[in-house]
Amino acid sequence: MHVTALRTDHLRVPLGKPPRVPLTDPTPPGPAAVDLVLVHLDTDAGVTGLGFTYLLGPGASAVRGLIDTEVSPLVAGADPRHTDALLARAEGHFRPVGFAGLAARAYAAVDVALWDVKAKAAGLPLAELLGAARPAAPFFRSDVGRDVVNAKPLLKDGAAGVRLEVGGGDVQADADRVLEVSQGLGDGAWVGVAADGRFDLNTAQALALFFEDVGVDWFEDPLPAADEVGYARLAGLAGVPLAVGAGFGARDAFFRAIRAGHVRTVRPDVCRLGGITPVLKVAAVAEAFQVAVSPVRMPEVGVHLACGLAGVPHVDSVAWFKDVFAGGPRAEGGKLAPPAEPGLGLAVGPGAGRWRVA
C-alpha cells in the first residue's frame, strides 16, 4: 500500500457565544471560531484516511501551505502504515528550522490520517488497533472556559465533570469561581483547574492549598513550564494532583516532567506535538513511571487513545466539531465509546462546506 495523493481543506468553525466574564477581568475574550485544517489521504489500495489539526489563533493558512508544499512530498509514495519512519522523516526535514510549532501542527493532520488508514487497512477501529484497553472511557468537558453559568448543563450527556480555566488576574475571583463550580456540581463531580502557567510560585501554592480543601481533582499547568524547581516545591506542599503539558511543544519536555516525579498526569496535545505517533511515545514513557496521560481536547481522536491505552484513563471532550464530522464518539452510560467502524470512524458531514475558507 502506498500514498497516491493528499488533499487539504480549511474550515473556520464558529464556537458560539463568547463566555461571560466579569467586566474587571483583564483577560481578552476567547476566540469566536476555531480553524480546522483537514487532510484527505488517498492510497493505491482504495483506502482513504481523514486527518485534521486545529488552531485557536493565527496560522491556519500557513499550516495548510506547509502540508501542501512541504509535508505532502514527504509521504508521497510511502507506505502509510510506516508511521514511525514517516515521523522521523518529517522531523529530519524540518530540523534546520525546528519541528515544533506550525510544522508539527501541519504534520499532525497527516499523521492522524495515516493512523486512520492504518486502522482501516487492518479492518479495526483505531482503539482496537492501539490495544483495546476498555470499551468506553469516562470523559470530562473542557469547553466550559471560565463561564461557570454553563458548567452544570455540560454534564447532561454523562460527563464526569469539567475542566475550568483560571488566571484572569484576580486570584480571589479565580478561587470563588472554582468554589462555585465545585459546590454547584456536587461532591461526585470531577473538577479540574487549568492555569496555562499564569501564576508565580507563591500564588500557586496558596491556590493549591485552597483547591485541596475544595476537593479539586487536578491543578493543571499552574506555573510556567520552565520552573522545574517551583513544581518540585509545589508538589511537596499540596496534596492536589498536578498535571502539566498542555502547552509543551516537544516530547523532551514531557520526558523531563515525567522523570522528575512531581506530576500525576501529563497532557500531550496531539496537534501541538505532531500527531498520534509522538503522543504514543509520551504515553509509553509515562506508563513506565506510572504517570497518567490525558490528551488535550480532540475527543474524536482522544476516545481512541483512552479506549486503546490503559494509561489514558479518560477523554478530554469539547463539542467544537460536532457539526463538522459525521460519526465520532458516542455517549453510553456516562462514558464515551469510540465508533465501531474501522479507523477513526469519522467522515466530513455534508454541511461542513458552509465554513470553508477560500
- The set of cell numbers assigned to 284 is 509509553
- Position 30 confidence tier, pLDDT thresholds 50, 70, 90: low
Closest CA to 168 of 141, 199, 204: 199
Residue 15 belongs to a domain: yes
Domain boundary among 72, 94, 123: 123
For the chain, the domain total comes to: 2
Residue 31 belongs to a domain: yes
Domain boundary among 105, 123, 141: 123
Burial of 213 (0-12, 13-18, 19+ CB in 10 A): exposed
Q: Does 197 share its domain with 83?
A: no
Q: Return the CATH number at 112.
A: 3.30.390.10
181-221 tens-digit pLDDT: 998 888 888 999 999 999 999 999 999 999 999 999 999 99
Q: Does 219 share its domain with 270?
A: yes
Q: Does 93 share its domain with 178?
A: no
Q: Return the CATH number at 135.
A: 3.20.20.120
Q: Does 172 share its domain with 246?
A: yes
Q: Where are the beta strands (DSSP E) in the chain?
A: 3-14, 33-43, 48-55, 139-141, 161-165, 190-194, 218-220, 242-244, 265-266, 292-293, 315-317, 325-327, 330-332, 335-337, 346-348
Q: Does 267 share its domain with 317?
A: yes
Q: Does 250 share its domain with 295?
A: yes
Q: Does 113 share its domain with 207?
A: no
Residue 161 belongs to a domain: yes
Q: Does 318 share its domain with 237?
A: yes
- Position 334 confidence tier, pLDDT thresholds 50, 70, 90: confident
Q: Does 196 share its domain with 323?
A: yes
Residue 22 above 70 pLDDT?
A: no
Residue 354 belongs to a domain: no
Q: Does 111 share its domain with 192?
A: no
- Position 289 confidence tier, pLDDT thresholds 50, 70, 90: very high
Q: Does 80 share its domain with 143?
A: no
Domain boundary among 123, 149, 181: 123
Residue range(s) defining the domain that contains residue 51: 3-123
Most confidently predicted of 29-33, 83-87, 316-320:
83-87
In the chain, pLDDT over 70 holds for what percent of residues? 94
Angstrom CA distances, 50 to 109, 339, 352, stand at 8, 14, 14
Residue 232 above 50 pLDDT?
A: yes
45-96 tens-digit pLDDT: 999 999 999 999 899 999 999 999 999 999 999 999 999 999 999 999 999 9
Q: Does 44 share its domain with 87?
A: yes
The pLDDT value given to residue 158: 87
Query: Which whole number is the average pLDDT over 92-116?
Result: 97
